[in-house]
Amino acid sequence: MSSKDMKDTDIKDIDTENEDSKEIDAKDFKDVKERLAATRRFFINFSVSAFLLALCGWFLYPVIKFLIPPAQNSIDPNILSIPIAQIPCGKSMITKFRGHPVIIINKDGEFRCLSAVCTHLGCIVKWDSKNEELFCPCHMAKYDINGNVKSGPAPKPLFALKANAVNDQIIIEEA
Ligand code: FES
């Protein structure tokens, strides 16, 4: 074999190798592209599913809450009893009494129960144990522990309910 023939054969081999490697590269590139597309598809499907699930929850939660009646702590609907242990000294609890939000406050072992609905525009008031007063987070109306207006735009006091400690229960009744 002449040296020219040798060179031609070598060049052909190199060309064949290059074509093979191009094919392999193209195949690998196609695989990577497909995997990326699958990952992107999975991510989009997952995001859309999570969004739809959250949307369903957002719509269904009020419906389910409306359909399931709140748990009653006592058999008599005119009396609400709450275990004292649930409201430690200085703390408060917001619950419902005959469908109306009320706040029960434990001030040094004495219990108070007031309407928790601000008389201004109906926001739910909170107990500030440091200043021993109730405040409305909406427009900062303040009430004393008996429900009387101290400051802010509230036009009327919060109405009070009877709250007595009996054994290990706080009994709430209409005043
Ligand atoms: S709603 Fe309470 S201060 Fe306005």
Residues 6+ positions from 34 with CB-CB distance below 8 Å: none
Retrieve residue 3's tokens.
Answer: 């040296």
Q: What is the pLDDT of residues 27-74, one digit of tens each?
A: 777 788 888 888 889 999 999 999 999 998 888 887 776 676 555 444
CA distances from 152 to 90, 119, 158 (A): 24, 11, 13
Region of 98 on the Ramachandran plot (φ > 0 left; ψ -120 to 50 alpha; else beta): left
Q: What is the pLDDT of residues 90-140, one digit of tens each?
A: 999 999 998 899 999 999 989 999 999 999 999 999 999 999 999 999 999
pLDDT attached to residue 77: 72
For ligand 1, say whether the CB of 101 is within 6 Å of any of its atoms. no
| Predicted structure pTM score | 0.59
94 CA from centroid of ligand 1 (Å): 17
- Please give the number of the atom of ligand 1 that sits closest to the Cα of 139: 3
Retrieve residue 170's tokens.
Answer: 């706080």
> How far apart are the C-alpha atoms of 151 and 92, rounded to whole Å?
21
pLDDT-derived band at 23, boundaries 50, 70, 90:
low
Cα–Cα nearest to 102, from 55, 47, 152, 163: 163
152 CA from centroid of ligand 1 (Å): 8
Beta strands 160-166 and 110-115: pairing type? antiparallel
- Does the pLDDT of residue 146 top 90, yes or no? yes
Residue spans of beta strands (DSSP E) within 13-99: 80-83, 92-97
Residue nearest to atom 3 of ligand 1 (CA): 139
pLDDT attached to residue 17: 61
Q: What is the pLDDT of residues 92-104, one digit of tens each?
A: 999 999 889 999 9
